Structure 1
């Protein structure tokens, strides 16, 4: 199975056609699971079954996930025990976001066969719909509907007669603003075909269609989109909150409203992505690697609610949305923050400060790289990446760079790197914006702002910088109105770096 060239499924600059309704994010390649057995589910070929999945169902841990590879390669990292126990040991979605028609059948077969041998159910995320992401930062997928149907049929043929959960095309129904009426109709037909093809090829499969999330479209509008895609006859239910941070209770309430608007069909149930929603959404609902988030409910089919089939980690925790790192990159700093920000963090080992907590991006032979949250504005970026503001400041004692990673009309994400000639234990970086930028969230640091002056202060895991080492994994998301000119006047612990 191959890792796709997914430079930017972080959807960091072009995915919010409606910036108010669509702060979301999609997620991820990878996986990891707990253990135990599974009760197989039966279905009529091509038609969704009426029963929810058994509460005893256990989900498959994918041994080639990015977190598993990082864990194996970093046994001496002080964060490794916590990440191994609280993230790598949990089941996560395995994303098929690389359009690879020649290998998709064997890729699917390899996973489902291994999962069945272990008595587990894999969670596969199909993400290859034509016009994916409305041509934004996560553009890609099949070139046309005919190709997509062929691709889906091959995927279905690879499932075998094994229990499997298929999360079918995140954003495909919540985001259709770029499509003409004819294109939307073609997409609806393709999704209906996909559900039927999967059920026919594998009667034990469960298929769930896109419901967006509770802060996106209205329940009635989302129900209408689902109905147009024949959800009642092509799927077993709906999914929501993929790669987002909305509270589980809000998602369940919203999803039930969607089902009610569909007439409460008895064969449709709910799946919620709880991978990173332990603290709910960040203030202002930033979508891209926001700070302060925490792991949510661990994956389970024992939900205690007859309408809710499962809480799943569709987005693998610790994989970047595209701001802290390239989209889909496993970043141990992000992963560890999700652990320490949660209520059980006191039981987690405290990492010793490392010289450089830069993300580890171990290569993977997974069916896809990890798509991530996208919040792109409808307007195209005002600057091309080559003209995006950036700055670099250095002196004999320190070197600071600030580089915009993505930019659009009214918003941006940026990364900061820090190099110090002397060893540092605890750091503060200040700089002065040349425009009217406002920082709304940060990662790898806490941020405060007074006018054009910004102060970044280390967080617990990246306080130390070894002499001559470079600290990465620090960045921010923000807004601007009339000017986004590059910053200047960098200091490190009060010492000018220019």
Structure 2
């Protein structure tokens, strides 16, 4: 799985409250003495201005007398989702972040911000990019922190950065031909990656009303004993917790269980245990629960929490046809997926602080080839848009197959208050 870069939009965001009343939003501490306690009680999640292509597609559907689908697309666009911070100079990202945080505050809402600019991002593949070195990244993260200031925010730090470190990249040192030197270069860049993420977590974690979650991939990627040491090196000790399933399709049940296991293993390691002894998502659940009861009883107040990306997991993961593709890329624009649970802080899980739409639904994962020469995606029969570009076919699939449903009932005309 690779996380895909969104389109960067400069228009001032809008906000949409979700009717949430959360006195301790995302596990936050009691309101500061200088903070209006009513504001803390009524804070909701924030919806930035949607991709303009979402409304253009909805207008086209309306013109074709497909009003239900148009209404579903508009509802998807209005749903709170994350603002991705990538590229831009420190001055630009400071201004952008400040504008988002201030607009959200005016609307008594909390924005979700995603840092996505670490050097060597995505092994220079589908979502290639990021800054050149640690010094540039340090200045850029500092500018984000200045933009947030004393405002309220949820920050997801660098999707995939720990799950896909330079040592994992097939060409992680392609600028050298000597095998031993290449391994040394990979090791140096991997150590730098951990330091970059850890410093970002620490910098943002000092902000008074910011909750920081460092990305932990998803349950079909790393096992618990593999990702936990990476989270530790990436500074999770200084974070509120971690994020799961960013830009992926794992089910709510799989994500919740993975989150519980990762959180428990972090607590176990913090007490001196070894990650290799922790139960993983591959264990029988009954065996894992017995281990947890014996070694790490659930104590949400002392454990790291997590947030879950439910933007596109309404139908769960895609199962590629057996033996059809050399590399099925099940993370890349899989067919017949649907929107998932709406963003909320009322998850019913003491460790899961929020279900969020972190990936912007409707934006492509990349030009998926599934091991073929292309240029078409063989599963869809079309050339998929580049990562972050609006994908009308996929957007419509997500709306049609949303679970829970997002389109209005068939016997109701969108925008009217009576059946027809």
Give 1:282's aligned residue: 318
Taking the aligned partners of 1:116 and 1:71, their CA distance within structure 2 comes to 30
Q: Closer, same or farther in 2 for the Cα pair 1:345/1:88, shift >3 Å?
A: closer
Matched, 1:186 2:197: no
Matched, 1:137 2:181: no
Taking the aligned partners of 1:159 and 1:97, their CA distance within structure 2 comes to 15
Taking the aligned partners of 1:164 and 1:322, their CA distance within structure 2 comes to 29
Taking the aligned partners of 2:149 and 2:103, their CA distance within structure 1 comes to 11
Q: Closer, same or farther in 2 for the Cα pair 1:25/1:214, shift >3 Å?
A: same
Aligned 8 A contact 2:2 2:122 in 1: no
Give 1:108's aligned residue: 97
Matched, 1:341 2:319: no
Q: TM-score, normalised by structure 2?
A: 0.69
The one of 146, 149, 165 equivalent to 2:135 is: 146
Matched, 1:60 2:49: no
Give 1:391's aligned residue: none
Gaps of 5+ in 1: 1-22, 45-53, 351-498
Q: Closer, same or farther in 2 for the Cα pair 1:181/1:290, shift >3 Å?
A: same
What is the SS of the residue equivalent to 1:310? Answer: strand
Taking the aligned partners of 1:91 and 1:345, their CA distance within structure 2 comes to 14
Give 1:248's aligned residue: 252
Give 2:146's aligned residue: 157
What is the SS of the residue equivalent to 2:214? Answer: strand
The one of 186, 198, 218 equivalent to 2:223 is: 218
Give 1:304's aligned residue: 348
Q: Which has the larger radius of gyration?
A: 1
Taking the aligned partners of 1:297 and 1:64, their CA distance within structure 2 comes to 18
Taking the aligned partners of 1:250 and 1:57, their CA distance within structure 2 comes to 29
Q: Closer, same or farther in 2 for the Cα pair 1:316/1:151, shift >3 Å?
A: same
Deviation per CA, 1:230-256: give whole Å up to 9, x if none.
2112x1111111111111110111121
What is the SS of the residue equivalent to 1:320? Answer: coil
Aligned 8 A contact 2:58 2:71 in 1: no
Give 1:127's aligned residue: 116
Gaps of 5+ in 2: 31-39, 173-185, 271-301, 321-328, 368-383, 412-420
Q: Larger strand proportion, structure 1 or 2?
A: 1
Give 2:306's aligned residue: 270
* Structure 1 segment 454-493 matched on structure 2, within 5 A: none
Taking the aligned partners of 1:24 and 1:136, their CA distance within structure 2 comes to 9
Q: Closer, same or farther in 2 for the Cα pair 1:119/1:294, shift >3 Å?
A: same
Give 2:376's aligned residue: none
Taking the aligned partners of 1:61 and 1:294, their CA distance within structure 2 comes to 20
Q: TM-score, normalised by structure 1?
A: 0.59
Aligned 8 A contact 1:43 1:203 in 2: no
**How many angstroms does 1:113 deviate by?**
0.3
| Runs of 4+ in structure 1 over 6 Å off | none
Q: Larger helix proportion, structure 1 or 2?
A: 2
Give 1:320's aligned residue: 364
What is the SS of the residue equivalent to 2:138? Answer: helix
Aligned 8 A contact 1:59 1:91 in 2: yes
Give 2:161's aligned residue: 172
Give 2:214's aligned residue: 209
**How many angstroms does 1:61 deviate by?**
1.0
Deviation per CA, 1:174-213: give whole Å up to 9, x if none.
001136222222221221211221133x310011111111
What is the SS of the residue equivalent to 1:262? Answer: helix
Aligned 8 A contact 1:55 1:302 in 2: no
Taking the aligned partners of 1:302 and 1:56, their CA distance within structure 2 comes to 14
Deviation per CA, 1:301-347: give whole Å up to 9, x if none.
10011100001111111111123322212233322211212353774
Aligned 8 A contact 1:33 1:88 in 2: no
Q: Closer, same or farther in 2 for the Cα pair 1:258/1:58, shift >3 Å?
A: same
Give 1:25's aligned residue: 3
Deviation per CA, 1:82-129: give whole Å up to 9, x if none.
2112x0221111111224323010010000000000000001111000
Taking the aligned partners of 1:342 and 1:73, their CA distance within structure 2 comes to 20
Aligned 8 A contact 1:92 1:316 in 2: yes
What is the SS of the residue equivalent to 2:267? Answer: coil
What is the SS of the residue equivalent to 1:140? Answer: coil
Taking the aligned partners of 1:56 and 1:261, their CA distance within structure 2 comes to 34
What is the SS of the residue equivalent to 1:309? Answer: strand
Structure number with the bigger relative contact order (C-alpha 8 A, sep ≥ 6) is 1
Give 2:232's aligned residue: 227
Aligned 8 A contact 2:16 2:45 in 1: yes
